[in-house]
Chains A and B, each alone.
Chain A
Amino acid sequence: MQLSGATASQLLEAMDSGEMTAADIVRAHLDAIASLDESVGTFLSVDAEAALTQAAEVDRKRAAGEPLGPLAGLPVAVKDNICTRGRATTCASRMLENFVPPYDAHIVERLNSADAVIIGKTNLDEFAMGSSTENSALKVTRNPWNVDCTPGGSSGGSAAAVAAALAPLAIGSDTGGSIRQPASFCGVVGMKPTYGRVSRYGLVAFASSLDQIGPFANDVAGAALLLERLAGHDARDSTSVDCPVPAYSQSVDQPLEGLRVGVVQEYLGEGTDDDVRSAIETAIAVYRSQGAEIVDISLPHTKYAVATYYLIACSEASSNLARYDGIHYGHRAEQFESLVDLYAASREEGFGDEVKRRIMLGVYALSEGYSDQYYVKALKVRRLIRNDFDAAFQNVDVIVGPTFPTPAFRIGELVDDPLQMYLSDICTIGANLAGIPGISIPCGISASGLPIGLQLLAGPFEEEKLLRAARMFERETDWHTRRPSLSQ
């Protein structure tokens, strides 16, 4: 059995049957990282010794007949904006290059108590701000399907790690599409849960009303299994919602009867790549052939989503990132004239361009005389966008469409045009503004050989329906089994 590239279910089965040990599995993935990651650049840090120790502990427990957690022995890559106690958490920023958190994020505790093996921390756009991972101050991550292309972002390292078969499962965070868009670019499954479904405790804050942690996997069942473990109430995040977590991994294979699938015309507008459009049309036909009813719907405020999103996200970011002052933790300038100058010089040296740009936009949008015109207005339009989704879900169970208007773009292509980069987020940001769950699954390969993602959206807390609907497509197609051919 080829261990690197296998799905979570296959690996669990191989361990259950005694065919493989957790140590075999972790070693195979560490070997894959050692031979391939130089060309992809997904990991910022890998702790092979800790991973092997953890795997040995899983094997010991199994041999002793002790109870094992649901992710026992499975390697998981974690985005480097999620705190790991005693282990660097850099946010791919010079500001936090040497930051070692004194505590674990809630989801890290959940992974550890499920006997998962955290294999390494993955690259991202600095502080999760970006759509290409090019804003990382520490490393370039490449798309495993074509190393001249970006893996998407901001969770580009996690998506590329799964695509390159360096881990079967990974964790990302999604503020405006940062899980779904890189999943689409890299040809893997990536899911943003409902806001409040997964605790944000220990996730380094970017835009607190939009951020949500979620799973990556090489199939829908893997995403279901991982989400089941991540989800649940945590009193340390006051926006974490206390409602039961369904057994997603048990129900994911059950098709939905009488599924009503909404197709949003606004998500297939001008600028949609021809290959993407035809892959989405084919995917819609797959649902129709399984008895689903296809309904054309409209989300009339879609054209305002990008402006709304950037005003809100940057405003919240400017406030959240005010904590980096060169005093409590993070980078501190050597040369300064006064206390205020120490703050300003430390921040100037510690933050990259995109982070500065967004802080500046946020400060401007919140500043005296402008906040009604920008920030408060954006909050009002946010409600209109949410109302659009509420109305749509009166009529349909899920909404399907492209995750992104194009396949992966080339490294450097959009780096000097931030507005163009922002505008392409049109299909993903609605879910963050409305707080609803979304998933991206592989649904095609472009003429240029790059993956295309199908996005499904559902109403709040309907992750179970979303996963089952995603699996209905996956079981009829083989796109999720395609892997890039990577050489060393």
Chain B
Amino acid sequence: MVELSNEDVRKVASLARLKLSDAEIEHFAQQLGGVLQYVHVLDELDVSDIEPMAHAVDISNVLRDDETTPSLPREDALANAPKTDGRYFLVPQILENA
């Protein structure tokens, strides 16, 4: 049985940048534990000699010419930003006394 402790879930939530409530932590510990338990069905298979398959189509390193093409105007790129000064995306201050 895969047991996920609340502490495990809290750690995953922190890696995932999700600020979960205590109730959510409890809830997800149970549900994710169930799903992880289930996926261990894959342990029945010996896959040691199998090459991982990341993509369905064998394409690699699609290259294009290194040429300048039109890109989004700044105004459009900033249009959906929750906070902007019209030139930049604004973030909270991250350095003290800056």
Contacts and interface: CB of A to CB of B under 8 A. Distances in A.
Given A377-B42, A381-B45, A348 B92 contact: no
B18 A356 contact: yes
Contacts of A329: 80-82
A20 interface: no
Given A209-B56, A340-B17, A332 B31 contact: no
A374 interface: yes
Given A383-B52, A384-B45, A419-B35, A360 B13 contact: yes
A338 B56 contact: no
A356 B91 CA distance: 24
Contacts of A342: 91-92
Interface residues of B, number: 49
A363 B16 contact: yes
A343 B17 contact: yes
A94 interface: no
B52 A376 contact: yes
Contact of A347 (B17, B35, B51): B17
A295 interface: no
Contacts of B64: 235
B32 A328 contact: no
A327 B19 contact: no
A374 B41 CA distance: 11
Interface residues of A, number: 70
Nearest to A338: B92
A318 B15 CA distance: 10
Nearest to A196: B57
A382 B9 CA distance: 27
Nearest to B44: A304
A326 interface: yes
A364 B32 contact: yes
A58 interface: no
A384 to B, nearest CB: 6
A137 to B, nearest CB: 16
Contact of A357 (B32, B62, B90): B32
A156 interface: no
B56 A103 contact: no
Contacts of B16: 318, 347, 356, 359-360, 363
Given A303-B41, A356-B24, A367-B15, A239 B80 contact: no
A209 B55 CA distance: 6
B52 A330 contact: no
A383 B35 contact: no
B1 interface: no
Interface string A301-328: 1011011101100000010001001111
A131 to B, nearest CB: 15
Contact of B80 (A100, A235, A344, A383): A100
B38 to A, nearest CB: 6
Contacts of A195: 55-57
B98 interface: no
Interface in A288-303: 301, 303
A127 interface: no
A238 interface: yes
A360 B79 contact: no
Interface in B25-63: 28, 31-32, 34-36, 38-42, 44-45, 47, 50-57, 59, 62
A331 B55 CA distance: 32
A472 to B, nearest CB: 27
Interface of A: 98-100, 102-103, 194-196, 209, 235, 238-239, 241, 301, 303-304, 306-308, 310-311, 318, 322, 325-332, 336, 338-345, 347-348, 351, 356-357, 359-361, 363-364, 367, 374, 376-384, 386, 418-419, 422, 433-436, 460
21 contacts: A100-B79, A100-B80, A102-B77, A195-B55, A238-B62, A239-B59, A306-B38, A322-B17, A327-B82, A336-B92, A357-B28, A361-B32, A364-B12, A379-B52, A383-B51, A383-B52, A384-B47, A419-B35, A419-B38, A434-B56, A435-B57
Given A361-B32, A379-B52, 6 more contacts: A327-B89, A344-B14, A363-B16, A367-B12, A418-B31, A419-B34
Shortest beta-carbon contacts, A-B, top 5: A435-B56, A379-B52, A329-B80, A332-B82, A383-B53
